[in-house]
Structure 1
């Protein structure tokens, strides 16, 4: 699929709604290689301008509350990579803060750790705006 997106570029846009749900499911696969390839495909969609980072994360919002903890973890890893590659100006970060803060108290330890690391990565890009946003709008769990 990655090669197909590479070849088609923006002509792949009509197929996003068909392809994205299975990609999200593969983010929760038990095999690490499958999860990595899913991440790669998501990143390739943004790289080739098939979908903007903001539009992609609008579609990925349900993944932050998915029943599979691995999917919750991987979507945050994807967000971290997107911030590194596309910068904070490509996303409306304030809309993503609430689901990430909720994941700080997730029952699964790896998800909690990834949520914390994601907030750290966001802080690296936006600085004190994140801190003030967290203090005003979001109840960060006391363990963090």
Structure 2
């Protein structure tokens, strides 16, 4: 599963793919994101809907509930774990889209280090990844 991604376009380029670019509240900025090697625990742009309508925000990549202090915050998960396990129960209702230009997969080719390969859509358009997250709440809801 993906451990690094790219978001180099501007947020307007990402929301244009959704055929409703004029209704989004933009909390990301007007310029291209220019992020070519986004690592876990750093901010990523997400598209989500709240009571005020559609919005674009920057959120930290990775989440864990406050009671899970014995492990690192996961950066990805299988849907069956997210939908039915207690770990993600608090954020399951908070769905979002993470628009990306591409991602990296590392392949073990027998060398001392794995070889990263960049993967993107063949047509060059953004990929839209399903996401969940904590967008508002108090400090005890998660970290």
TM over 0.5: no
Please, what TM-score do these two structures have when normalized by structure 1?
Answer: 0.22
Q: When you count strand as a share of all residues, which structure comes out higher?
A: 2
Q: When you count helix as a share of all residues, which structure comes out higher?
A: 1
Please, what TM-score do these two structures have when normalized by structure 2?
Answer: 0.22
Answer 1 or 2: higher relative contact order, Cα 8 Å, separation at least 6: 2
Larger radius of gyration: 2
